Amino acid sequence: MSDSQSEFPEQTESIPPCNRLVKPTILTQQRLAKPLPQYPFKVLILFNQPVLEADHPLKESEHEVEYIVNHTLKTLLAAGMNVETLPVGRDPSVIFSELQARKPEVVFNLFEGLGDAGGTESTAAGILEWLEIPFTGCPSPALSIARDKASSKRLLAGAGLPVAGFLCLPDSRVPACPFDWPVMVKPAGQDASVGIDHHSVVSGQEALVRRVDYVLREHGGPVLVEEYLPGREFSVVVLEQKGVGLVSLPAFEIRFERKGPGIWPIFTYEAKWEMESEDFNHTPLDIPAHIDDEMQDKLGRIAREAFAVLGCRDYARVDFRLDSQDEPRILELNPNPDLSPDACLSSTLEACGPLTHEEFLVSLVVRAHQRGGAVRTVRSNPAK
């Protein structure tokens, strides 16, 4: 299939992007005036085919991948690449058969996991590793560990990095809460704020039991119960750059302007995905955050260490919240974060990064091509 015959249909710009960010338009136009470097690579964009029903409450987060694929496709074509796309739904054999048939030099991995089976995100990366095909983004172990919030927190804490105190509950048996009230309750195996709303913060044991039961019924176990951190919320994007190593972009801040009874300053699912909601329209972001150099340096250092501890590659985002002493604690690490041209990573790159979003997408393919896909740990034919 030639680059002009991609099976991916033209998408409109109406698919809602994450985090409703507005890029610095003048800067973006100036930086995009320079043509992209040209690379004649054969690239396959792998992504998760939406599987949720049209009226499913989580459909927004699942369908955004189509918007990202469309933009990535256009960008890589503009860089002289021969690009095809491969949506994969519930039949994983499609990955094997299509990869063997199409023989890409690099896979641009946008497979985020099926909408009702997020753990398949690491499965797709594992298949690519098994087939020794170079691909962009984090390897399968990092994807698996980061999705398991309890395991990732234990690893980060074991490495001496600051995390919020937490309990991980596999079922509805809820012990007496060891933390001061309030506490945060959320699914331990989800991302994209799935399962988080203003009822996720509870202030008593009975409310905790009810919320744990709700999360188990709606999202399955285990359930994470965390200390509620009352301070400001920041995120830091970490990139790998050739010849430089790990680079942390300036932190951006998530601000919570909505007030009222039962309203907590937290990044809910509605705030991320539902454009008509009060949360969405009252949760602006400051890029970069208005903080002093000491806090910027501290957030960046911790983010780079977390990236290394969890074995990430290419790019990741680390989310923080300040505690009552204004000290940062890691909420979670997000490998392969949203690559929408309107999302946090892109907007941070455009505002204060070393390259544009489009240049970054191209650089991911170049990095994957250079490192190759070999994963063997011993020689197959040892010397006699």
User: Which of 72-76, 191-195, 287-291, 334-338 is least confident?
Assistant: 191-195
Q: Is residue 25 over pLDDT 90? A: no
38 and 76 fall within a common domain: yes
327 and 251 fall within a common domain: yes
Which pLDDT does position 15 carry in this prediction? 33
More confident residue, 259 or 9: 259
Q: At 185, which CATH number? A: 3.30.1490
Q: At 48, which CATH number? A: 3.40.50.20
Residue 317, in any domain of the structure? yes
Residue 370, in any domain of the structure? no
25 and 71 fall within a common domain: yes
- For 47-97, write each residue's pLDDT tens digit: 999 877 777 766 676 678 899 999 999 999 999 999 999 999 999 999 999
Length of the chain: 384
11 and 132 fall within a common domain: yes
Residue 359, in any domain of the structure? no
173 and 264 fall within a common domain: no
Domain boundary among 227, 255, 280: 227
Which pLDDT does position 24 carry in this prediction? 37
Q: At 318, which CATH number? A: 3.30.470.20
- With CA atoms as reference, report the closest residue to 215 among 188, 233, 175: 188
Which pLDDT does position 54 carry in this prediction? 73
Domain range for 333: 155-161+229-353
Residue 367, in any domain of the structure? no
Q: Is residue 5 over pLDDT 80? A: no
Burial profile 186-208: b = 16 or more Cβ within 10 angstroms, e = fewer: bbbbbbbbbbbebebbbeeeebb
Q: Positive or negative, the Cα torsion across 357, 359, 362, 366?
A: negative
Residue 366, in any domain of the structure? no
78 and 191 fall within a common domain: no
The residue-averaged pLDDT of 315-322 equals: 97
Query: Taking all residues of the chain, what is their mean pLDDT, rounded to a whole number?
Result: 88
More confident residue, 282 or 242: 282
238 and 318 fall within a common domain: yes
212 and 261 fall within a common domain: no
292 and 256 fall within a common domain: yes
Other Cβ atoms less than 10 A from the Cβ of 160: the count is 8
Residue 252, in any domain of the structure? yes
8 and 120 fall within a common domain: yes
Which pLDDT does position 33 carry in this prediction? 56
185 and 215 fall within a common domain: yes
Domains: count for the chain: 3
203 and 249 fall within a common domain: no
Which pLDDT does position 7 carry in this prediction? 41
Residue 292, in any domain of the structure? yes
- For 148-167, write each residue's pLDDT tens digit: 999 999 999 999 999 999 99
What pTM value is reported for the model? Answer: 0.88
